[in-house]
Structure 1
């Protein structure tokens, strides 16, 4: 008889917790700011926004369905500056 991972009496549970300053937190803040800006102009907009960051580069990708326009690069720069990344290095 076989058992699945979830029904097995022995399994390992793992999780990750990130703290302030972690790149995942920055990505979440950028995506949230874009979502907020779009919903402020169009409450019926549909937004599936993902963000990835590395040294000197922010990538925003996904799907946005709206009749409004927001300046995404300006929003990204504002969030990055607000969390304290003000120097290129």
Structure 2
């Protein structure tokens, strides 16, 4: 008898919190690397209604205004309120 296995995968659509969090994390990474190419970034983003939390470790000689990056990213993906 051939061995059996179960394969699963997850797919999320536009507007899903995971997609939003990925966009914010990517924007933070890009902003930091734009100032310091040797920066080390381990950034996690958590989103819920009306709130974004950034966590992790960032080592850089640059400065990024995180609230500004978050707000501009949300605005660029269609969240205007």
Q: 1:23 aligns with which of 8, 12, 17?
A: 17
**Corresponding pairs, count:** 80
Instruction: Give the Cα separation in 2 of the matches to 1:9 and 1:27.
Output: 38
Alignment map for 1:1-89 (pairs within 5 Å): 9-87=3-81
Q: CA RMSD in A?
A: 1.2
Instruction: Give the Cα separation in 2 of the matches to 1:51 and 1:9.
Output: 39
Q: Following superposition, which runs of at least 4 residues in structure 1 exceed 3 angstroms of deviation? A: none
TM-score, structure 1 length as denominator? Answer: 0.85
